[in-house]
Structure 1
C-alpha cells in the first residue's frame, strides 16, 4: 500500500515537497541578490558619471572624454592642474562622504527600527557642530583644531545619548527621544555661542555650519578619506550582526550575538563616519536620512542593507554637490542647503505616504 501510495502522481512524498520549498526559497533569495547587485552597480556608475561631469564643470569647462584622458595620464599641464589638483578632491570627497553618511544612517535606522533614526535627526551632527564651534572660538579655527573639535563633539554626544537612553538595554525609541532632546539643547548652546562670539568667528562658524565641499583640497580630503575607508569596511563587515539585531534581542542572543556590546560598537563606528565627514565638510543634513530608505525601496529588501545605502549616499551627495555648483553659477551654494531642500521634499513624501496608509 505504501509503495502504491507513493507511486501515485497526485500524492507526492514529503521529501519532494520539502525540496520544492527549498528550491523556491533559493530562487527568491537569488533574485533578491541579483536585484541588489544590479541596483548597486547602477548607482555606482551614476555616481562616477556625475563625478566626472562635476570635474569637467566650471570656468574652464572640460568634456567627459578630456576628463577621463587626464585621469588616465594624458592632457596638458593646465588640464592636469585643474582636474587633479583643484576639482578631483572635491568630487572624490563627495562620493566617499556620501557613502559614509549613507552607511551611518543605515546603521541607526536599523538599530532604532525607525526611518527617522538618522544621525542628523538624533543630534550627532549638532554635537559635532558644538565641538567645532568651541574649537573655532578657543583655538582660532584652524583646520586641524576644527576637525578634532567636530570629532570630539560628535563622539561625545553619541556616548551621552547612548548612556542616557540606557534602561536595561538601549531601545530604538528611547535613543530617538533622548537624541532629539539633546540635539535641541545643543542647538540652543550653539546659538548662544555664535551670539557671544566676535563677528569674524561668527561668520566662520556660519559658513562651516552650512555644510559645504567648496574649496576642498587633498590636504583636507585625504586624512578624512583615510579615516573613513577602514571604518566603513568595519561597519560593512558588521552588516550580518546588524541583520541579527533587527530580529530582536532574544533572537540575536540565541544566535550567539552579545547584543549590547554589538550595538555599542556599531553606534561608535556609525558616529565616527558622521563625525569624520562633519569635520571636513560641516554638518550635511538628510543624506543619512534619505539614502538608506531609497536604497531599500529600490532593492526591495525587507530591512536596511548597508552596501546599497552606501551606493545611494554616494550618488545623492555628488549629485547634490553638482547642483550646488551649477544651479546658480557662478554663485555656488553650500551643498548642505541643497540636501536640506531634497530632505524636506522626502519628508513631505514620507508623511503623505504614511497618512494615505492610515486612511485606507
Structure 2
C-alpha cells in the first residue's frame, strides 16, 4: 500500500505527497548526479570521480578546469536537458493518447524534426544553428499537421497514434529521399547528424536549450493536474472542469516543442521518450503522468547511454543514439509482448 501524506499549508490548502514517488525522484536525481560525474570523468584524459567533484568545486588544476568546464560539463548538461525533455514529451503524449506506444518518436514528431534539419543540410547547406532551427520548424509543422489530420470533433488518442504512425512512415521516406539527393559531403554530414550524438556539444548548444526548457517545462508542469484528469477520458475531465481542447492543444504544443528542441540540440535520440516514462511509472507504482520522475529517468538514461557509448567499446566510441536505439529496441519488443499478453493490442 502506498504511503501518501497530506500536508496542510498555512493558507488552508491541502497538499498530498506520495512518499514512494518522492523517494524515486530523489534516487533518480542522485543517479543523474552520479552518472554526470562518471561522464565528465570519461574520455581521452580520464579523471577519477573525486577529481571531477573537486574540479567542479573549484579545487582542480588548470588543465582539469579546462577539461571539465570547457569541454565536458556542457556535454553532460546538454545530455541532462535533452534526456529530460524527451522523457517529459513522451510522458505528455503517452498520457494524452492513453497508450504506452504513443511516444513522439513513434508517432512522427521526431521524424518531422529530422526532415526539417536534413532539408537545411541538403538543400540549403546551412550551418549548425540553421540546422537546429530547421529541426524545430520541422517538428512544429509535423505536430500541427498530425493534430489537424487527427481532428474529428476533437482528437481521440487512438486516432492520433494511427495518424502519427502513418505520418512517421511518410517522413521516414522523405529522410531517405533527401539522403539520395545529397552530395557526398552533405550526405556524410546528414548521416552523422541523424545517428544522434552528444560529441562536440558545448555552451553554444546548452544556453539556447536551457532558455527554451525554462519556459516550456514549467508550462507543462503547471498543467500536470489537468493532464492527470485527461487520462481518465475527455468526458470525465470536462465534468471536472478541465477545458479539454485548450489543455490538449497547450500540452501537445509543449510536447512537440520539447522533442523538437531536444532533436535540434543532439539529433534524433531514439526510444528515450518511449521508455523513460514507462520505467518511471513502474518504479513509482503511481497512476498519472509522473512528470518529475519521468524527466529524471530520461536524464539518467541518456547519461548512462552516453557513458556506455564512450567506455564499452574500447577506443572506438559510438554515437549515443546507437546505444539508445539498441537498448530501446529491446524495450519496445518487451513492451509489445506484455501489451499483447494483456490483450491491449
Normalised-by-shorter TM-score class: over 0.9
Match 2:39 to one of 46, 54, 62? 54
- CA shift at 1:355, angstroms? 4.2
* Partner residue in 2 for 1:353: 338
State whether residues 122 and 180 of structure 1, in contact with CA within 8 Å, keep that contact through their aligned partners in structure 2: yes
**TM, length-normalised to structure 2:** 0.93
- CA shift at 1:28, angstroms? 4.9
Match 1:313 to one of 298, 307, 323? 298
Q: Secondary structure at the match of 1:247?
A: coil
State whether residues 112 and 172 of structure 1, in contact with CA within 8 Å, keep that contact through their aligned partners in structure 2: yes
- CA shift at 1:351, angstroms? 2.8
State whether residues 293 and 304 of structure 1, in contact with CA within 8 Å, keep that contact through their aligned partners in structure 2: no
Q: How far apart, CA to CA, are the structure 2 residues paired with 1:116 and 1:32?
A: 28
Q: How far apart, CA to CA, are the structure 1 residues paired with 2:178 and 2:332?
A: 30
* Partner residue in 2 for 1:130: 115
Q: How far apart, CA to CA, are the structure 1 residues paired with 2:149 and 2:33?
A: 41
* Partner residue in 1 for 2:26: 41
Deviations 1:154-200 (A, max 9, x none): 00000000000000000101111101111111111111111011011
* Partner residue in 1 for 2:211: 226
- CA shift at 1:221, angstroms? 1.9
Q: How far apart, CA to CA, are the structure 2 residues paired with 1:65 and 1:45?
A: 16
Deviations 1:194-227 (A, max 9, x none): 1011011111111000011111111122211221
Match 1:109 to one of 74, 94, 106? 94
Q: How far apart, CA to CA, are the structure 2 residues paired with 1:351 and 1:166?
A: 27
* Partner residue in 2 for 1:333: 318
Q: Secondary structure at the match of 1:270?
A: helix
Q: In the alignment, does 2:236 pair up with 1:236?
A: no
- CA shift at 1:350, angstroms? 1.6
Match 1:281 to one of 248, 261, 266? 266
Q: How far apart, CA to CA, are the structure 2 residues paired with 1:244 and 1:355?
A: 26
Deviations 1:2-50 (A, max 9, x none): xxxxxxxxxxxxxxxxxxxxxx99x656697000000000011011101
* Partner residue in 2 for 1:20: none
- In the TM superposition, structure 1's runs of 4+ consecutive aligned residues that sit over 4 Å from their partners are 27-32
Matches within 5 A, 1:280-299: 280-299=265-284
State whether residues 113 and 264 of structure 2, in contact with CA within 8 Å, keep that contact through their aligned partners in structure 1: yes
Unmatched segments (≥5 aa) in structure 2: 7-15
Q: How far apart, CA to CA, are the structure 2 residues paired with 1:176 and 1:343?
A: 19
Q: How far apart, CA to CA, are the structure 2 residues paired with 1:172 and 1:29?
A: 33
- CA shift at 1:352, angstroms? 3.0
Matches within 5 A, 1:153-232: 153-232=138-217
* Partner residue in 2 for 1:9: none
- CA shift at 1:125, angstroms? 0.7
* Partner residue in 1 for 2:76: 91
* Partner residue in 1 for 2:13: none
State whether residues 81 and 209 of structure 2, in contact with CA within 8 Å, keep that contact through their aligned partners in structure 1: no
Q: How far apart, CA to CA, are the structure 2 residues paired with 1:229 and 1:330?
A: 37
**TM, length-normalised to structure 1:** 0.90
Higher helix share: 1
CA RMSD of aligned residues (A): 1.7
Q: How far apart, CA to CA, are the structure 1 residues paired with 2:197 and 2:236?
A: 42
Q: How far apart, CA to CA, are the structure 2 residues paired with 1:99 and 1:189?
A: 28
- CA shift at 1:348, angstroms? 2.1
Q: 1:148 to 1:84 in 2, by over 3 A?
A: same
* Partner residue in 1 for 2:236: 251
Q: Secondary structure at the match of 1:120?
A: coil
Q: 1:352 to 1:247 in 2, by over 3 A?
A: closer
- CA shift at 1:320, angstroms? 0.6
| Rg larger for | 1
* Partner residue in 2 for 1:18: none
Q: How far apart, CA to CA, are the structure 2 residues paired with 1:281 and 1:75?
A: 29
